[in-house]
Chains A and B, each alone.
Chain A
Amino acid sequence: MSAEAIQSRRDWLLSERPASRMQARLGRAYVAWRRFSANRLAFLGLLIIIALLVVAALADVLAPYSPTFGDLKGSRLLAPSAEHWFGTDDLGRDILSRVIFGSRWTLYVVILVAVIAAPIGLLVGTVAGYAGGWIDAILMRITDIFLAFPKLILALAFVAALGPGIENAVLAIAITSWPPYARIARAETLTVRNSDYIKAVQLMGASPFRIVLRHIMPLCISSLIVRVTLDMAGIILTAAGLGFLGLGAQPPLPEWGAMIASGRRFVLDQWWVAGAPGFAILIVSLGFNLLGDGLRDALDPRSGDQ
Chain B
Amino acid sequence: MTAALSVDRLEVVFDRFRALKGVSLEVQSGESFGLVGESGSGKSTLLRAIAGLAPVASGSITVSGKKLGARRDKAFYREVQMVFQDPYGSLHPRQTVDRLLQEPLAIHGFADGEKRIQRALDEVGLGTGFRFRYSHQLSGGQRQRVAIARALILEPSILLLDEPTSALDASVQAEVLNLLEEIRRRRKLTFLMVSHDLAIITHMCERLMVMQSGEAVEHLTAADLVERRVTRDYTRNLLRASEGFVRTA
From residue B237, how far is it (CB to closest CB) to chain A in Å?
Answer: 30
Q: Does B182 lie at the interface of the complex (its beta carbon under 8 Å from any beta carbon of A)?
A: no
From residue B89, how far is it (CB to closest CB) to chain A in Å?
Answer: 4
Q: Does B66 lie at the interface of the complex (its beta carbon under 8 Å from any beta carbon of A)?
A: no
Q: Does A74 lie at the interface of the complex (its beta carbon under 8 Å from any beta carbon of B)?
A: no
Neighbouring B residues of A83 by C-beta, 8 Å: none
Q: Does B69 lie at the interface of the complex (its beta carbon under 8 Å from any beta carbon of A)?
A: no
Do A23 and B132 contact each other (CB < 8 Å), given the known contacts A196-B89, A205-B107, A302-B93? yes
Task: Please measure, in the bound complex, the distance between the C-alpha atom of A215 and the C-alpha atom of B98, giving whole angstroms.
Answer: 15
B134 pairs with A203, CB closer than 8 A: no
Neighbouring B residues of A81 by C-beta, 8 Å: none
**A-B pairs under 8 A by CB, number:** 82
B93 pairs with A202, CB closer than 8 A: no
Task: Please measure, in the bound complex, the distance between the C-alpha atom of A301 and the C-alpha atom of B133, giving whole angstroms.
Answer: 13
Task: Please measure, in the bound complex, the distance between the C-alpha atom of A306 and the C-alpha atom of B134, giving whole angstroms.
Answer: 10
Task: Please measure, in the bound complex, the distance between the C-alpha atom of A197 and the C-alpha atom of B84, giving whole angstroms.
Answer: 9
Neighbouring A residues of B94 by C-beta, 8 Å: 218-219, 301
A302 pairs with B107, CB closer than 8 A: no
From residue A74, how far is it (CB to closest CB) to chain B in Å?
Answer: 62
Task: Please measure, in the bound complex, the distance between the C-alpha atom of A200 and the C-alpha atom of B48, giving whole angstroms.
Answer: 11
Neighbouring B residues of A301 by C-beta, 8 Å: 93-94, 134, 136
B89 pairs with A24, CB closer than 8 A: no
From residue A207, how far is it (CB to closest CB) to chain B in Å?
Answer: 8
Q: Does B35 lie at the interface of the complex (its beta carbon under 8 Å from any beta carbon of A)?
A: no
From residue B166, how far is it (CB to closest CB) to chain A in Å?
Answer: 14
Q: Does B145 lie at the interface of the complex (its beta carbon under 8 Å from any beta carbon of A)?
A: no
Task: Please measure, in the bound complex, the distance between the C-alpha atom of A24 and the C-alpha atom of B94, giving whole angstroms.
Answer: 11
A206 pairs with B137, CB closer than 8 A: no
Which residues of chain A (18-47) have a CB below 8 Å from chain B?
A: 18-21, 23-24, 28
Q: Does B82 lie at the interface of the complex (its beta carbon under 8 Å from any beta carbon of A)?
A: yes
A-side interface size class? 20 to 34
Task: Please measure, in the bound complex, the distance between the C-alpha atom of A204 and the C-alpha atom of B129, giving whole angstroms.
Answer: 25
Q: Does B113 lie at the interface of the complex (its beta carbon under 8 Å from any beta carbon of A)?
A: no
Q: Does B81 lie at the interface of the complex (its beta carbon under 8 Å from any beta carbon of A)?
A: yes
Do A18 and B133 contact each other (CB < 8 Å), given the known contacts A204-B107, A204-B154, A219-B94? yes
Task: Please measure, in the bound complex, the distance between the C-alpha atom of A21 and the C-alpha atom of B92, giving whole angstroms.
Answer: 16
Our pick among B77, B86, B133 for the contact of A196 (Cβ within 8 Å) is B86
Neighbouring B residues of A201 by C-beta, 8 Å: 92, 103
Q: Does A195 lie at the interface of the complex (its beta carbon under 8 Å from any beta carbon of B)?
A: yes
Known: A196-B89, A203-B81, A204-B107. 13 other contacts (CB 8 A): A18-B133, A24-B98, A24-B132, A24-B134, A196-B90, A199-B84, A204-B103, A204-B104, A204-B154, A218-B94, A219-B94, A301-B94, A306-B137
Q: Which residues of A approach B to under 8 Å, CB–CB?
A: 16-21, 23-24, 28, 195-197, 199-206, 210, 214-215, 218-219, 301-302, 306
Nearest 5 pairs of A and B residues by beta carbon = A205-B77, A196-B90, A24-B132, A18-B132, A204-B104
